[in-house]
Structure 1
Amino acid sequence: MTTSSSTALGRHVPEGLPSHIQHYIGGEFVDSLGGQTFDVLDPVSNSTYATAAAGQQEDVDRAVTAARKAFLDGPWPTMKPRERARVLNRIADAVEAQEARLAELETFDTGLPITQAKGQALRAAENFRFFADLVVAQFDDAMKVPGSQLNYVNRKPIGVAGLITPWNTPFMLESWKLAPALATGNTVVLKPAEFTPLSASLWAQIFRDAGLPDGVFNLVNGLGEEAGDALVKHPDVPLISFTGETTTGQTIFRNAAANLKGLSMELGGKSPCVVFADADLDAAIDSALFGVFSLNGERCTAGSRILVERPVYEEFCGKFAARARNIVVGDPHDPKTEVGALVHPVHFEKVASYVEVGKTEGRLLAGGGRPEHLPEGNYIAPTVFADVSPEARIFQEEIFGPVVAITPFDTDAEALELANNTRYGLAAYIWTQDLTRAHTFSQNVEAGMVWLNSHNVRDLRTPFGGVKASGLGHEGGYRSIDFYTDQQAVHISLGTVHTPKFGNIEASAANEG
């Protein structure tokens, strides 16, 4: 029986909540030109706590104009890296100083457990510090051909970057894009997810107080089909960085083609967690539980397909399911809560429908729907299905919630075939004590990121991204610097250049003679 973090349904409402969330364009908080708005719900009660300005084509045009003016006429792109780094470090200071408030608002807006939301705020600050350091330390290639030529690379910001971010851990994921885009001298237009605009609205004041020039950062709230679509199609936005689901990424790919935009897209996932019989089983269970049920299961890198070698399969299933049944589900603001409320009723209905599908495709070991003690709100008990066929929908399709499918295998070859048997290729987790197997499997699994005997612990210097339907391109570390800058090769001659003299009349006459 899933336990509760409180005896009754709780609804913590932070003090000082806005009743209306505006855009931020050219250094000013503004509403949509046409006055359009949408409702913003909290996931515990599903009641409207605010309205938000709903951006349209004309609002995106206004934001892009402000960003382009700041790029062409403002000081930001031409500032020395150290000067920009000072601003980024002040941003990080401000984020850290209000960590508790940010976490409280993030939890209220997303339903994430408060203990996990606190970690996201600190990670956001670290992203700004990391790229502040990186842009100062950045160096580029210089190549010399002795006595002939010197070649060097000149790195330049590209222009207005369009950033489209998701609703899971929104503040932290916004920082992943904002920090490198700003560090490299670009200006930005951010379109946050419509489900969770609250924490994104905090960036404007943070940036203003840190001394970021007006117009460098612009924010347009709204629906993906309206504000997001307009941003992707805008001819004065040469870059789009998008994190979200795969079908939306395909639409963005098509719409960006007309203007040949630079694209970086981190998309969906259905990542395998492969547990071999020689693994440290207790450690693997700890990691697998955290990997699929933390952040309410709403994480792109969730190890939502667990593949277990046959000799330890039943033991693994029994222990895993017993732990899943004991996970604390309840009020996201309660520090004891481990799984909170899903972000929105629309998403709740999607996850709940997959749970019902799973009951026809696997053996239900834990969960299976709404916890009995939580009759309201977007709550799904951690749900475990065993004996799931690789053709099953819950094996193949991204659920993005606290639902896991467990499947047995007999050989290394079968494990690899199962691991690669989806359209996705974002992450993979491998548990084994065999060093040769670990490296061989890592080389052959179709995933952009692999963790050996570990859950998702990532160094900011490493590439982040997927293969197949999980994404296009990589960000993280110097790869983010590459994406947000143009690399111009400059060639300087150091001596006489011997060039064929096409069309030289004197040379032609001499040859004829």
Structure 2
Amino acid sequence: MMTQSADQTPSAEIRDAAAPAPAGLPAPIQHYIDAEFVDSADGETFDVINPVTNETYIQASAGKKEDVDRAVAAAKRAFHEGPWSSMLPRERSRVLHKIADLVEERGARLAELESFDTGLPITQALGQGRRAAENFRFFADLIVAQADDTYKVPGRQINYVNRKPIGVAGLITPWNTPFMLESWKLAPALATGNSVVLKPAEFTPLSAGLWAGIFEEAGLPRGVFNLVNGIGEQAGDALVKHPEVPLISFTGESSTGQLIFANAAPHLKGLSMELGGKSPAIVFADADLEAAINATIFGVFSLNGERCTAGSRILVERSIYDEFVERYAAQAERVRIGYPHQPETEVGALVHPEHFEKVMSYVELGKTEGRLVAGGGRPEGFEAGNFIQPTVFADVPHTARIFQEEIFGPVVAITPFDTEEEALQLANDTKYGLAAYIWTNDLKRSHNFAQAVEAGMVWLNSNNVRDLRTPFGGVKASGLGHEGGYRSIDFYTDQQAVHINLGEVHNPVFGKAD
């Protein structure tokens, strides 16, 4: 376990300025299995670190195979013996709407836990709670309005599609916006009648425990929701390999996704994986420059830069390149760094010292690969914790590692281009393909470029504002499959075709008597 290094021991001033640990925390953070909070079977725990001081503030139960087995058994029993999987959609919808109500009511507590655990600015943590409630409302409405395919041949045949919940869904979630991304998977999995086992990220287990009380109060039946904390290589691995978990939905790094793909293959599991990104933002000379700068600043520095869809490669047409770099760097320098609990903070602390060291290694590498025009180190007055200045590199060649590799922090690379063809080549020149942002007032170019760019999602003259009805996912190394809207319904259900003969049975007869 990573511990606070001697040269970064927080001073009394740092401790005084940082928010105290939220009151009323469990000791330790426990699993939630079959409607009960329980310790790990072997009693083991792991440390959870405050990203502002890098000091351990709580322990969490360290789940392993035995704990996952118990959770899966509870979920399977609830699926086969309980009422949830056979409820009418309207009945499940009422429970989901109640869940959304409770998430909204507990928004302040949720944001407090999320901000303290992740280092996210409190104002952005509040937004994640609102989005989590919206996810549940969306799927509560969708399952009631769901229409399935019917094909008719009048007088001869009707063909229709049944949708059935699959069973136990394994949900493995990341640490950057934990509660919201948990809702993204929980809402459709539960809406369609499945039972679930959630394995939250080990860096940020705090807010996941809120789901238990919310689900109990909303009336979710016993055993439908189960939670196992733990290290990915132990708890996550056991969940992926469990033979009675037919579905795995995972959000995280591409390298971890490769391991999950391999480990799930022997069981032929259904997989949905939203992986890494190195998304381009392409700014043409005819764009609204102020809007493009504001959007691309927000796109890479919000959520502390720890977002999969961050537009962390900005490609700028050469005729406006110098002006763009100058204005972008000046605005990045004005981004307010601060303690996560302070409402004026725009960039807080990165989630964990391991991740801080990774991002800082890219900052140092960037100084050899591009021209540093903003940031580049630890901000003054924050000698402890995981604080990094919003950092901007210009003149970055496409061969640079900071151009090609996902950094997942407040670091951006800016590169010039001369022609539309070069811009497209640069945009597609990575192994990733999650998102792309295009800034131009040329209508024809915007649509043609969007179709040609290798990305699962494209925003034209917009930052990342997503309609929940649309598919979310990437191409290439950025993912496998899509979720969101009806795509989530597809993933969490089996589709069964039923064929009914309405007329004379018409088929060849073999072995007919003379």
TM interval, shorter chain, is over 0.9
Equivalent residue, structure 2, for 1:11: 18
- Is 1:188 matched with 2:196? yes
Q: Which of 151, 164, 168 is the equivalent residue of 1:156?
A: 164
- Is 1:366 matched with 2:402? no
Q: Which of 68, 76, 99 is the equivalent residue of 1:91?
A: 99
Give 2:437's aligned amino acid. Y
Whether the aligned pair in 2 keeps the contact of 1:89 and 1:129 (CA below 8 Å) is yes
Give 1:471's aligned amino acid. G
Work out the CA distance in 1 between the residues paired with 2:134 and 2:433.
Answer: 27
Which segment drifts farther, 46-55 or 170-179?
46-55
- Is 1:432 matched with 2:440? yes
Whether the aligned pair in 1 keeps the contact of 2:14 and 2:384 (CA below 8 Å) is no
- Is 1:143 matched with 2:151? yes
Work out the CA distance in 1 between the residues paired with 2:244 and 2:369.
Answer: 48
Give 1:12's aligned amino acid. A
Structure 1 SS opposite 2:464: coil
Whether the aligned pair in 2 keeps the contact of 1:44 and 1:376 (CA below 8 Å) is yes
Q: Which of 422, 428, 434 is the equivalent residue of 1:420?
A: 428
Give 2:175's aligned amino acid. W
Work out the CA distance in 2 between the residues paired with 1:498 and 1:81.
Answer: 37
Equivalent residue, structure 1, for 2:228: 220
Structure 2 SS opposite 1:100: helix
Work out the CA distance in 2 between the residues paired with 1:277 and 1:249.
Answer: 38
- Is 1:277 matched with 2:267? no
- Is 1:203 matched with 2:220? no
Equivalent residue, structure 2, for 1:510: none
Structure 2 SS opposite 1:328: coil
The runs of 5 or more residues in structure 1 that have no matched partner are: 1-6, 508-513
Q: Which of 222, 229, 238 is the equivalent residue of 2:237?
A: 229
Give a deviation string over 1:5-28, Cα, whole Å, max 9, x none: xx9672102222233100000111
Deviation at 1:498, TM superposition (A): 2.1
The runs of 5 or more residues in structure 2 that have no matched partner are: 1-12
Whether the aligned pair in 2 keeps the contact of 1:23 and 1:219 (CA below 8 Å) is yes
Give 1:89's aligned amino acid. H
Structure 1 SS opposite 2:267: coil
Equivalent residue, structure 1, for 2:181: 173
Whether the aligned pair in 2 keeps the contact of 1:127 and 1:175 (CA below 8 Å) is yes
After superposition, residues 46-445 of structure 1 pair within 5 angstroms as 46-445=54-453
Deviation at 1:49, TM superposition (A): 1.1
Whether the aligned pair in 2 keeps the contact of 1:298 and 1:400 (CA below 8 Å) is yes
Structure 2 SS opposite 1:274: strand
- Is 1:28 matched with 2:36? yes
Q: Which of 481, 489, 492 is the equivalent residue of 1:484?
A: 492
Deviation at 1:503, TM superposition (A): 2.2
Work out the CA distance in 1 between the residues paired with 2:484 and 2:133.
Answer: 15
Give 1:480's aligned amino acid. S
Deviation at 1:494, TM superposition (A): 0.6
Work out the CA distance in 2 between the residues paired with 1:305 and 1:17.
Answer: 40
Give a deviation string over 1:440-477, Cα, whole Å, max 9, x none: 10000000000000100000000000000000000000
Give a deviation string over 1:353-394, Cα, whole Å, max 9, x none: 000000000000011011121001000000000000100000
Equivalent residue, structure 1, for 2:8: none
Give a deviation string over 1:219-272, Cα, whole Å, max 9, x none: 000011000000001010000000000000000011111010000000000000
Work out the CA distance in 2 between the residues paired with 1:496 and 1:309.
Answer: 68
Structure 1 SS opposite 2:369: coil
Whether the aligned pair in 1 keeps the contact of 2:14 and 2:53 (CA below 8 Å) is no
Work out the CA distance in 2 between the residues paired with 1:373 and 1:36.
Answer: 37
Whether the aligned pair in 1 keeps the contact of 2:282 and 2:439 (CA below 8 Å) is yes
Work out the CA distance in 1 between the residues paired with 2:90 and 2:44.
Answer: 41
Structure 2 SS opposite 1:313: helix
Deviation at 1:499, TM superposition (A): 2.0
Work out the CA distance in 2 between the residues paired with 1:72 and 1:8.
Answer: 53
Structure 1 SS opposite 2:37: strand
Work out the CA distance in 2 between the residues paired with 1:238 and 1:63.
Answer: 14
Work out the CA distance in 2 between the residues paired with 1:140 and 1:326.
Answer: 52
Work out the CA distance in 2 between the residues paired with 1:332 and 1:400.
Answer: 18
Give 1:322's aligned amino acid. A
Structure 1 SS opposite 2:488: helix
Whether the aligned pair in 2 keeps the contact of 1:19 and 1:49 (CA below 8 Å) is no
- CA RMSD, aligned part only? 0.9
User: For this pair of structures, how many residues does the alignment match?
Assistant: 500
Work out the CA distance in 2 between the residues paired with 1:31 and 1:8.
Answer: 33
Work out the CA distance in 1 between the residues paired with 2:306 and 2:241.
Answer: 28
Whether the aligned pair in 2 keeps the contact of 1:272 and 1:304 (CA below 8 Å) is yes
Work out the CA distance in 1 between the residues paired with 2:234 and 2:164.
Answer: 31
Give a deviation string over 1:312-365, Cα, whole Å, max 9, x none: 000000000000111111101001100000000000000000000000000000
Structure 2 SS opposite 1:15: coil
Work out the CA distance in 1 between the residues paired with 2:507 and 2:405.
Answer: 60
Give 1:79's aligned amino acid. M
